[in-house]
Amino acid sequence: MNSIKAGVTEGVVSIIVNTILFAAKFWAGIMTGSLALIADAWHTLSDSISSVFVIIGAKLSQKKADSDHPFGHGRWDQITTLFIAVFLGIIAYDFAKASIEQFSQRTHVEFGIFAIVVTSLSILVKELLAQYAFYLARKTGNESVRADGWHHRTDALSSVIVLIGILFAKQFWWIDSVLGFIVALMIFYATVKILKGAINKMLGEKPSQEFIDCLTNDIINFYDEDMQLHHLHIHNYITHKELTLHIRLNKDLSIENGHEIASAIEKLILDKYNIASTIHVEPLFFNSPVYKPVDEIK
C-alpha cells in the first residue's frame, strides 16, 4: 500500500467509526449533562473532520509535478497536518474555557450505566484505530496518517480519564469540570506534537547519521580512489526528494573524468535510494586544512 492509498483508507475508516462513536458519546453527555462527556464526544468528531483533511491531503499530494511545482505536490501532506493541528487547538481552547466556567458555577453531574458502557467502548475502539493508523504510517511514511493516529490515541486517553471521573463522580462534585479541563490539555498536547512534526518537515531536516553512513559506504565502495563527502543536504518534498552534496576528488583528474564519476554516483543514489541528487566536485588536496576525514562529514 502506498502513502496516498493509506491516507484515503485510514481516513474513510476513521470517519465511519468516529461518527458512530460521536453520536453515542454526545447522547450520553446530553442525558447526563456532563461537560467532560460532551467534550470527549466533540474530540471524537474532530477525528472525523481531521480524517477529511487527511483524505484531501492524500488526493492533492498525488498530483504530478508541473511547471509551477517542479518537485510535485507532496508537501500537501504537511499542510493538511497543520490544518488538523489548528482545528485541535481551537477545540482545546473552547473546552478549557467551558470547564473553568462550569467549575466556577459548582455544577454537579450524575452519571449512569449507559455513560460507563459508551465510554469503555470508546476507549477500546479508539486505541484500535490508533494502532491501525500507526501501522499504516510505519508502512508508508504518511505523516498526516500518523497525526491522525495521535488524535485517536489522545481521544482514547481522554476517555480513560472520563471513565475514572464517572466512577468517582458521587464523591467529588467538581470532577466533571476538572476532567473537562484535563481533556482540553490533552488535546492541546496533541496539537503541539502534531505542529512540531509538520513544521520540522516543512522547514527541512538534516539527514540522519544512519543515512549518511550508508551513503558514504556505498560511494566509497563504488569509487576505490580517495574521495571525501561533505555538505549533504536533503530537500524533502515527500513524493520527491532532492539531495545536494560535495565530493572531493583527486586534483589531477580531468574535468571529463570528474563529471563521469559524479554522474555515476548520482545514478547510484537514484537507483538505491530513489533520491535525485546534484553533486558539486572539488579538488582534493591532502595537505589542505579543509580536508576532512570521513568521520567528520557534515
Q: Name the more confident of 63 and 211.
A: 211
Q: List the grid coordinates of 278.
A: 546534484
pLDDT in tens, 14-62: 888 888 988 988 888 888 777 777 877 877 777 677 667 667 766 666 6
pLDDT digits (tens, 9 = 90+) for 107-124: 666 677 888 888 898 889
- Average pLDDT score over residue span 194-209: 72
Count CB atoms within 10 A of the CB of residue 22. 20
CB 74 within 8 A of CB 238: yes
For residue 121, CA distances in Å to 78, 159, 220, 234 come to: 32, 9, 56, 44
Beta bridge partners of 248: 228, 282
Instruction: Name the average pLDDT for the chain.
Output: 76
| pTM (two decimals) | 0.54
* Percentage of the chain exceeding pLDDT 90: 1
Task: Of 4-8, 79-83, 187-191, give the lowest mean pLDDT range.
Answer: 4-8
Q: pLDDT tens digits, residue range 121-168?
A: 888 998 998 898 888 888 887 777 887 788 788 778 778 877 887 787
More confident of the two residues 291 and 253: 253
| Domains along the chain with CATH numbers | 3-203 (1.20.1510.10), 209-296 (3.30.70.1350)
Beta-sheet pairing, 276-284 with 241-250: parallel
Helix (H, G, I), strand (E, B) or coil at 150: helix
What pLDDT does 149 receive? 83
Task: Give the C-alpha separation, 175 to 169, whole Å.
Answer: 6
The reported pLDDT for the residue numbered 291 is 38
In this structure, how many other beta carbons lie within 10 angstroms of the beta carbon of residue 71? 16
Q: Using CA atoms, how far apart are residues 228 and 251, in angstroms rounded to an integer?
A: 12
Dihedral of CA 50/52/55/58: which sign? Answer: negative
Instruction: Give the model's pLDDT for residue 288.
Output: 45
The three grid cell numbers given for residue 51, joined into one nine-digit string: 480524517
Q: Which residue has the cell 462513536?
A: 21
pLDDT for residue 124: 92
- 202-244 confidence digits (pLDDT tens): 666 666 778 778 887 887 777 766 677 777 777 776 666 778 8
pLDDT at 203: 67
* Element spanning 175, H or E: helix 175-203
